[in-house]
Amino acid sequence: MSTNQAVIEVLEAAEAARCDALLKQQIDALESLIGDDLHYVHSSATAEDKALYLARLRDKYYVYHGLQSLAREWRVFNDLALCNGDIAIEVEVKGARKHIKSRYLQVWAKRASGWQMISWHSTPIPQT
């Protein structure tokens, strides 16, 4: 197995844990998977840092009901990994249920505690 493949397997497990924590609303578990320097841009163009993103999750401003990966491609550069993907998201935002198909760029950094997501930037895929 190549070094990159071994890293990708670790990243896939971290991403699965992140999604699981979102769906189960386990914000404390999610907190360790994202960096203090998180920059999160939703498909609505709303940008948040870690503190605001976690606060909104705790307050149920966002409630995730489904996350389905449609495509994912990893590129690993030493202690930094980029993931380009497509995802289907079922989420409530301020109580309004939404179904979003999104194309995203996700960035993970290897830290002393392990891999952490430090950036998410998504854009909606138009419905055809």
Structure tokens at 7: 């890293």
pLDDT at 20 over 70: yes
Question: Assign residue 22 a region: left if phi > 0, alpha if psi is -120 to 50, beta otherwise?
Answer: alpha
- Residue 46: band (very low, low, confident or very high) from pLDDT cuts 50, 70, 90: very high
Task: Determine the Cα–Cα distance for residues 31 and 87; give it in Å rounded to an integer.
Answer: 21
Confidence at residue 107, expressed as pLDDT on a 0 to 100 scale:
98
1 Cα distance to chain centroid: 26
- Residue 127: band (very low, low, confident or very high) from pLDDT cuts 50, 70, 90: confident
For residue range 54-93, list pLDDT tens digits in order.
Answer: 999 999 999 999 999 999 999 999 999 999 999 999 999 9
Confidence at residue 121, expressed as pLDDT on a 0 to 100 scale:
98
Residue among 60, 121, 65, 62 nearest 88 (CA): 65
Percentage of residues of the chain with pLDDT beyond 70: 98
First-residue to last-residue Cα distance in the chain = 40
Confidence at residue 2, expressed as pLDDT on a 0 to 100 scale:
62
User: In this structure, are residues 100 and 123 in contact, taking their beta carbons and an 8 Å threshold?
Assistant: no
